[in-house]
Amino acid sequence: MKKRKSLYHGHRFPAIVISCAVRWHFRFSLSLRDTEELLLERGVVVTYETIRCWCDKFGAEFAQRAKTARRKRGNTWHLDEMFVTRGAVSAVARGR
């Protein structure tokens, strides 16, 4: 069986730099130049055009991984508190 190559194979920068740049760009809605500036503050010299290429190439893969990692909701919901009004009296009922 052939070993699958890394998603980042053939890129100049390490995988952690690429994933940080793409994550920051999408998660915090930063512009490409803002992301470039954040990386420059951390000592990584990269152009905004390179970040754009990374976002185009890896953005869909990151979104797919985030979607599959999201926890699935079940059919049962457990309520700890509920607000009860009886007549003019209101109270918070807490389950134990």
Residue 96 has pLDDT above 60, yes or no: no
pLDDT tens figures, 56-95:
999 998 888 888 877 777 776 666 667 677 777 767 666 5
Calculate the average pLDDT of the chain.
Answer: 85
Between residues 57 and 8, the one the model is more confident about: 57
DSSP structure class, residue 71: P
Dmax over Cα atoms in the chain, in whole Å? 72
Give this prediction's pTM: 0.67
Q: Evaluate the CA torsion angle 36, 15, 6, 59 in order and state its sign.
A: negative
Q: How does residue 52 score in pLDDT terms, banded at 50, 70 and 90?
A: very high
